[in-house]
Structure 1
Amino acid sequence: MGNALIFPDILLYLLDMVGVIACAIAGTLLAQHKGLDISGCVLVSMVNAIGGGTLRDMALDRHPLFWMTDLNYVIVITATSLILQMFFHLYHKIDNALKLFDAIGLAAFSVIGFKIALTQDMAPLIAIMMGVWTAIIGGLLRDIICNEIPLVLQREIYITASIAGSVTYLLLQRLGIDSGINEFIMLFVIFAIRMLALKFDWHLPSIRLVA
C-alpha cells in the first residue's frame, strides 16, 4: 500500500485504494465464511488490507505509518467490510470470488510496494522483495487468523507472479519505457499470470531428493 504524500499521482493513489478494497473484500469473504462476527470480519479485512504495507514501511523505516496519516484507508476498509457483510448472501461462489479479489490485491500492492522501495533508493532486489511483502503479508496473516493454510505457502503461482511483474518493470525501464505506462504493464502482468495460473491449474513443482 502506498501513500499519497509519496506518490502525488492520483492514479497511483487510486490504484492503492483498489488494492485496499480488493483485499478488504477478500478478507471479509473468508471471515464471513468462517463465521466471524461483525467486528471480527472488519478486523480480518483490516489486517488483510494494510498488514503488508505496515511491515513494508517498518522495514523501510517510513514513519508515521501510511494509514495513520491518511484515515481514508481505515474508513474505506471498514465501509467495504460492513457493506459486503450486509450483501454476503450474493456471493455464492466464495472460492472464485476470494481468488479474484485476491489477485487484484496481489497486483495492486506489488506495484505500490515495489515503487515505494524504488522511491526510497533501494536496490532492485530489495524493491522486488518489498513488492512481494506488500502483496502477501496481509493475506498470510488473514489466513492464519482464519485457521487456513496460507495460500502463499502452497504450490500456488503467487509470489512468482509478483516477482515476474517486478522483473518486467525493470527490463522495460532499461528500454526507456515511461514509468506510468510501465506500472500498468506490471499490474497487468501480475494479474494475468495469477488468473491464468488459476484457470489452467498451474503450480510450482516441489523439490524432493530421491533417497
Structure 2
Amino acid sequence: MVNDLIFPDILLYLLDMVGVIACAIAGTLLAQHKGFDITGCILVSMANAVGGGTLRDIALDRHPLFWMTDLNYMFVITATSLILQTFFHLYHKIDRAVKLFDAIGLAAFSVIGFKVALHQDMSPLIAIMMGVWTAIIGGLLRDIVCNQIPLVLQREIYITASIVGSVAYLFFDYLGMNAGLNEFVMLGIIFWVRMLALRFDWHLPSIRLVD
C-alpha cells in the first residue's frame, strides 16, 4: 500500500500494519461474537482490514492492489484472527473492545489513505475523501456481513473524526510542520476525537422535518 511513497516507507508501512492488525481484531471480535466459524472470522477480518484500501486503490487507479503484491497483509490478518479466536474468552466487553480497535484502525487508515492520495497529486478535498474511504469501507463491509447497522451510518462521531484529523494536517502543513510529526499529530487527533466521542457520548444531530 505504501511501497512507492516518498516519505519514509518503513514508517508508513508499520502504521499500515497497525491499522491492519487493529481492524483484524475488530472484525474477528464481532464475527466470533456472532458465531462465525474459523474461516468466517478470518474472511470478516480480511474485509475489515483491506476493504477500504482496496476501494481507494481502485478509485486512484493504483495497480496491482497492495495486498496482492505483499502477502504479509494476508499472513498478518490470518495470524491475528486465529490468535484472537483462540483467546476470545478473555474479551468480556465485546462492544467496548471492538470500538477501541476500530478507533485505532480509523486513525491509522485515515492517515494512510490521505497520504496516498496526496502522493498521487490529488487535491486536498480528494485526499480527505480517500482518507475517509480507507478508514470506513472495511468497517462498513464488516458490519453488513455481521448483520449489524453500520457504525459509520449512525450518528457516531466517526467520519467526522477522520475529516477533522485531515484538516488539521493541512493546517499544520501550511504552518510548515515536519511531515512525519504532522502524521503522528493527525493520527492522535483522529484517535482521541473518536475516543472522546465514545467516552462522552457525543453524536451528530440528525435533520428531521417537524410534521
Give your verdict on TM over 0.5. yes
1:144 aligns with 2:144: yes
Normalising by structure 2, we get a TM-score of: 0.98
2: CA distance between counterparts of 1:4 and 1:156? 33
1:72 alignment counterpart? 72
1:4 alignment counterpart? 3
1:59 aligns with 2:59: yes
Are the equivalent residues in 1 in contact too, given 2:24–2:48 (CA < 8 A)?
yes
Shift of 1:210: 2.3
Shift of 1:10: 1.2
1: CA distance between counterparts of 2:209 and 2:31? 38
Q: What amino acid is aligned across from residue 82 of structure 2 in structure 1?
A: L
2: CA distance between counterparts of 1:65 and 1:155? 32
Residues 127-157 of structure 1: CA deviation (Å, up to 9, x unaligned): 0000000000000000000000000000000
Q: What amino acid is aligned across from residue 6 of structure 1 in structure 2?
A: L
Are the equivalent residues in 1 in contact too, given 2:49–2:138 (CA < 8 A)?
yes
Normalising by structure 1, we get a TM-score of: 0.98
State the number of aligned residues: 210
1:89 alignment counterpart? 89
- Mind listing any 5+ residue stretches in structure 2 that lack a counterpart? none
Shift of 1:3: 2.2
1:49 alignment counterpart? 49
Question: Counterparts of 1:1-211 in structure 2 under 5 Å?
Answer: 2-6=1-5, 8-211=8-211
1: CA distance between counterparts of 2:63 and 2:5? 12
2: CA distance between counterparts of 1:169 and 1:3? 18
- Root mean square deviation of aligned Cα: 0.8
Shift of 1:208: 1.3
1: CA distance between counterparts of 2:159 and 2:201? 15
Shift of 1:9: 2.5
2: CA distance between counterparts of 1:58 and 1:169? 24
Residues 82-104 of structure 1: CA deviation (Å, up to 9, x unaligned): 01000000001101100000000
Shift of 1:29: 0.1
Q: What amino acid is aligned across from residue 64 of structure 1 in structure 2?
A: P
